[in-house]
Amino acid sequence: MSLVGALPFLKPRFSPSVSPGRQRRHTLPASEFRPLNTQDAISVFEIEKEAFISVSGDCPLHLDEVRHFLTLCPELSMGWFEEGRLVAFIIGSQWDQDRLTLDALTLHKPKGSTVHIHVLAVHRTFRQQGKGPILMWRYLQYLRCLPYVRRAVLMCEDFLVPFYQKSGFKVQGRCSITVASLTFTEMQYPVRGHALMRRNSEAIGFPQTVLLLEEPIQRSESALLLEEQTQRTEPEPADV
Tell me which residues are annotated as active site.
93, 107, 118, 120, 164
CA 123 to chain centre: 14
15 CB-near residues (< 8 Å, 6+ apart): none
Q: Alpha helix locations (H) across 100-130?
A: none
Strands 170-174, 151-156: pairing kind:
unpaired
Handedness of CA 68, 69, 73, 77 (dihedral sign): negative
The Cα 199–Cα 238 span in angstroms is 41
Residue 112 near residue 94, CB atoms below 8 Å: yes
Cα–Cα distance between 87 and 46 in angstroms, integer?
Answer: 11
User: Is 94 within 8 Å of 114 (Cβ atoms)?
Assistant: yes
Task: Check the CA dihedral 161-164-168-174 and report its sign.
Answer: negative
Distance in angstroms between the alpha carbons of the first and the last residue of the chain:
30
Nearest to 169 by CA among 161, 157, 180: 161
